[in-house]
Amino acid sequence: MRSDVDDVWLLQQLDVAFQKSDVDGRAAEAQLIQQAREGDHVAFGVLYRRYVMPIYRYCWLHFGGSREDAEDMTSTVFIRAWQAIGRYDERGRPFLAWLHTIARNVVQDELRRAGRTMSLDDILPDPSNVADLGTSRLDHERLARALTHLAPDQRQVVICQFLLGYATEETAAVLGKRAGAIRAIQMRALRTLRELLGRDV
């Protein structure tokens, strides 16, 4: 019979496995999800540590950059995730994509409560902060207009990769696509942006 110490050690090893190969990471995640579905708070804690920053960044950007609001919304996302994890089907969407659905609903609820709607301006960096725009000094309005001319999948990839700071694998999980497809979409999106803006992006 395993002790609680053995369980904690196992979960620590599973947490480390996220950093290995994609296959190992998926297997470790599936085991953690199953344990969380059975009521294991420690397993859910590992999932929380794995995904809290991507969800926090999403909430922060989509609600206008308020740290306190983003922290509150992130907490709400994971409370709802814990309450609903029994309904999560690991054979369907990736876990991060499922969390994003919850986060989108939480953000939209808060925007409605605040009497606002989500617009492209909500997910663009503050134009007064050049560092937020990466290495370019693109005008905020020009960038917003250029993004509206991208195909929806290209716009989503640009937002995930460059505004939310997701790795290719995270973007693939959120959008339900393969990493290779994300790289191809990103290349097409950047080519289109260069043409629209008349300069390197």
Long-range contacts of 124-130 (CB under 8 A, 24+ apart): 124/163, 125/163, 126/65
pLDDT for res 45: 93
Angle at 173 between CA 168 and CA 170, to 5 degrees: 35
Mean predicted confidence (pLDDT) in 105-109? 89
pLDDT for res 104: 85
Query: Nearest to residue 152, comparing CAs of 143, 140, 141, 160?
Result: 160
Q: How many CB atoms lie within 10 A of CB 30?
A: 13
Residue 133 pLDDT greater than 70, yes or no: no
CATH no., domain 119-201:
1.10.10.10
Residue 96 pLDDT greater than 70, yes or no: yes
pLDDT digits (tens, 9 = 90+) for 37-65: 999 999 999 999 999 988 988 888 777 66
Burial 163-198 (b: 16+ CB within 10 A, else e): bbebebebbbbbbebeeebbeebbeebbebbeebbe
Question: 3-class DSSP state for residue 1?
Answer: coil
Mean predicted confidence (pLDDT) in 162-188? 86
DSSP state of 24: H
Mean pLDDT computed over every residue of the chain: 76
Query: What are the residues whose beta carbons fall under 8 Å from the beta carbon of 8, sequence distance 6 or more?
Result: 42
pLDDT digits (tens, 9 = 90+) for 13-40: 444 444 444 445 677 888 999 999 999 9
At how many degrees (to 10) do helices 95-113 and 41-62 cross? 50
Q: Is 31 exposed, middle or buried (0-12, 13-18, 19+ CB in 10 A)?
A: middle
pLDDT for res 135: 37
pLDDT digits (tens, 9 = 90+) for 114-127: 776 555 555 554 44
pLDDT for res 102: 93
- The pLDDT confidence band at residue 160, using thresholds 50, 70 and 90, is confident
- The pLDDT confidence band at residue 74, using thresholds 50, 70 and 90, is very high
